[in-house]
Structure 1
Amino acid sequence: MKKLTVLKSLVVAMIVFLGFSLTSCNDERYEPIPVKLSDVDGSYKARLVTSQGNKFNEKIIEFQAKDTIITFKDFPVREIVKTIITDPVKADTALAHIGKVEYKLEYTSKINASQNLVELTFEPKTLALQIPVDGVTKNAVVKLAAKQKGFFVGYDWSLRFGLEAEKITVDGVELTPYQTIKYDVPISVKN
């Protein structure tokens, strides 16, 4: 009988001890690491969603951010070329001749400490392309714009932004009718 009482007392003491040890865990809170402007720098792999009207295309792209410039070694120009050249076979031939197109997107940044992110304000430059079709080279100038700010989010260390090809001019003549081409990067992660 005495052994049973001692055993019960030990079990009760153990349960009380475990209860107190688990409640101490409730006081710990997540403290995010504050972002710095230099945190934006790095190589990224991103999901790019390209849309024009009701047509959508998704693909994985890579780019680098360094010293207030995002560099695309292979900027996606497929939709631009297919807007200029409506024949799909000729457009694919032109894309093969053009190859990879490098584009540099400049930005300014500022820290938003209350939300633990870096806000990016973009300053897109025009994109010039020489498109070979039917033995002639067409000179295309694409006016790119950024309607919204981009964000480097401190919570998951991702970069998010979007661009639009607002207007395309071919050999000095503006394409009309024209549907805006949107490039959205809803999420990108550092490599």
Structure 2
Amino acid sequence: MSVESNMLESAIRQFTHYKELGEKAMRQLEPEQLFIAPNEDSNSIAVIVKHLWGNMLSRWTELLTSDGEKPWRLRDEEFEWAEADPAQVWQYWEEGWRCLLDALQQLQPEQLMTIIYIRNEGHTVLEAINRQLCHYPYHVGQIVYAAKMLKSTSWDSLSIPRQRSAQYNANKFDQPRQRRHFTEGI
């Protein structure tokens, strides 16, 4: 397998991992908690999801043939939410991630060095992937942090629970060496 193929596969695993983290955090909340913002300068989880959705659709639709900042994208409206509809939050979440992951799965390794544009600025496809590997986990981290703050009962850890590192490591070292999967123990 080529380096380029490995890079694409790794990016898909990383994005999938962060999608799963966000989902696990949001599923621990009551539906109405998705719409709570701590203050007027902060975003609710629903608004963060809507922003991710808008960015993902804009960046990954027609990736190789049109600018990543689509004329139909209304970025400022991504930071507004009209009604508390949890089903809409989940629809945005799934639609955005599906657009991203479908685009990545359709890429050929040799396309990683193709120049694409985001707001009229040239990037290789690889640079665009790396740009979003920084952007999306940043927002997923916000979702996780907000969910932890909003959860009224005990938090189900998304990683290695507190005071359980030694136990986790002992279990890992008792197993034969294997390739790391991004869905466990960060």
Same fold, judged at TM 0.5 (above): no
Q: Which has the larger radius of gyration?
A: 1
Structure 2-normalised TM-score? 0.20
Which is richer in strand?
Answer: 1
Higher RCO, 1 or 2 (CA under 8 Å, sep at least 6)? 2
Report the TM-score when normalising by structure 1.
0.20
